Amino acid sequence: MRSLHAVLISLLLCLGACSSLPNRDPLKINVVGVDPLQGEGMEVRFAVRIRVQNPNDYTLTYSGVALDLDINGQPFASGVTDVQGTIGRFSDTIVTVPVSVSAFSVIRQTYGISQMKTLNNMPYVLRGKLSGGVFNTMRFVDSGTLNLPGPTTGSR
């Protein structure tokens, strides 16, 4: 009985400690650029540049970034980097993450695009995380639409 009380008291203390963690607003992420990189074999590689905004009242330290990019509701690219850095309180920074696109993803997207009449307003979802240790990892999601140039018609 005594050990049961000790376990219950320990659980209550742990819950109290969790409630004292600071409130964290979610990070704000925007894709600011995509640059081509050298690929291997049948893969295509890009450097995705994201702006990470820290809307919190503390400095965020990270030691790695992971990204997954879906286009038209289909997985398209993923990447990781072990870059380390900090984002000051109420500050932002640009982080570059190399991502790989498999040949199968390119084929699937090409087929999906060929079924569309326009390349405007293609939906994307970018999911990722900034690794900051056990309790400081911050996950994020950014979504929107891509407007890609389509074929021009030569009506005169």
pLDDT, tens digit (0-9, with 9 covering 90-100), for 9-53: 766 665 554 444 557 788 898 888 888 898 888 888 889 899 999
pLDDT, tens digit (0-9, with 9 covering 90-100), for 101-114: 876 666 666 655 55
CATH topology of domain 24-136: Immunoglobulin-like (2.60.40)
Place of tokens 């997985």: 75
Dist CA 112 CA 72 (whole Å): 8
Tell whether the model's pLDDT for residue 127 goes beyond 90.
yes
Element (H, E) at 76: strand 74-81
What pLDDT does 8 receive? Answer: 66
**Greater pLDDT, 153 or 132:** 132
Residues facing 142 on adjacent strands: 126
What lies within 8 Å, CB to CB, of 30 at 6+ separation is: 50, 51, 53, 142
| Domains in the chain: boundaries | 24-136
What lies within 8 Å, CB to CB, of 12 at 6+ separation is: none
